[in-house]
Amino acid sequence: MAWLARRDGSVVIGHGPFEAAAVMPAAATAFYVRDFALGDARPWKIPARVELTHSREFAARYAAVPPPLCQWQALDAAPFSAVFQEVMAAIHGGLFEKTVPVVTETGTCDHAPGAAVIAAMARQTAPLYSFGWSQGEGGFAGATPELLISLDGLRLETMALAGTARRDDRDVFAVDEKEIREHEYVAQTLVSKLTDLGRLDRRPRDILDLGSIVHFLTLLRLDLDHAQSPDALVKRLHPTPALGPLPRTDETLAMLLEWRARLGCPAQFGAPFGAWHDGRFEAVVAIRGIWWNERNLILPAGCGIIEASRLVNEWRELRLKREAVKGCLGMRG
């Protein structure tokens, strides 16, 4: 099964078996399921059967599914500390202005947790986008606040979402120079990558309140001069500096992929996840999610590192993001 909740409250659901295709089908519904490195040559997954429902009805299907009891493993800060020092050395050496390593927390459940993870994410509503992919004994599901692309005809919408703090720190967050600088790296990069495609409207920077945490948010809307394929737009934008390196070159991306692999990051974390349905394409950034295989869980979180970053603050931000996901899941342990 695959699904994506959209901004209008609808949920596109696909039931397998899925046919993999290299090119987006013109008429059929298809899910866009990628790894972070965009390595899959056939990313379009065409379901055997499609449903379109409302998020309330989708959540109601799983109302009786309880959260699993999960034992989380204590996290060792040493591997992240080593990567952090390597990142800072690369920044001081002029290779990066910003990059986003990922830490993963693992756990074991008392029974297969897939249905419970799906249920928890199905209950999440706007401004979060619920998404998921489930096959056999494994899969991933999440509720992300980050839209990568909404494409409807010649209207393209995206967002810069970067900079994170606890909700209680909202007032000081609003004037934090380090967080503002991190956000502007993302917003300005998106503007530079889109300006030549049409008329761009950048909205003022705002704060997105997600309950326990807040982020800086800048919305961008573009009226395209010419039609663009979803694939071409994804390759132009992904990964944004919210999840990827700045500048984005073959060398800096390879370094980030090596750090992600070393820290146990799932391949799809931070990747585009989308749905093409009825002439409209929407893709989100696959963050704030859980990956499972049989009774095992992986909970990844990333943090943007710039020259002004400090290890203890980034470690704290990573925990804040993971705890927000656990809060969605209602898990104990």
pLDDT at 323: 93
Task: Pick one of 3.60.120.10, 3.40.50.2020, 3.40.605.10, 3.40.50.300 as the CATH number of 2-329.
Answer: 3.60.120.10
Buried b (16+ CB within 10 A) or exposed e, 239-264: bbbbbbbbebeeebbebbbebbeebe
Pair of tokens at residue 116: 């419970």
Q: How far apart are the first and last CA of the chain?
A: 28
Q: Is the peptide bond before 145 cis (omega within 30 degrees of 0)?
A: no
Pair of tokens at residue 140: 């991933």
Instruction: Look up residue 131 and give its DSSP letter.
Output: E
- Chain position carrying tokens 């970067």: 162
Q: Give the C-alpha distances (Å, rounded to integers) separating 29 from 8, 71, 195, 200, 288.
A: 18, 38, 30, 29, 25
pLDDT at 69: 83
pLDDT at 331: 58
Name the helix (H) or strand (E) containing 36.
none
Distance CA 81, CA 98 (A): 16
3-state SS class at 128: coil
3-state SS class at 239: coil
pLDDT at 332: 44
CB 159, CB 218: distance < 8 Å:
yes
pLDDT at 68: 76
Q: What pLDDT digit, counting tens, does each position of 108-146 carry?
A: 998 899 999 999 999 998 899 999 999 989 999 999 999
Q: What pLDDT digit, counting tens, does each position of 28-40 carry?
A: 999 999 999 999 9
pLDDT along the chain (333 residues), means of 10: 94 97 95 97 97 95 86 95 98 96 95 92 93 95 97 97 94 96 96 97 97 95 97 97 95 98 97 97 97 96 96 96 89 48
**Domains of the chain by residue range:** 2-329
Distance CA 141, CA 297 (A): 11
pLDDT at 333: 43
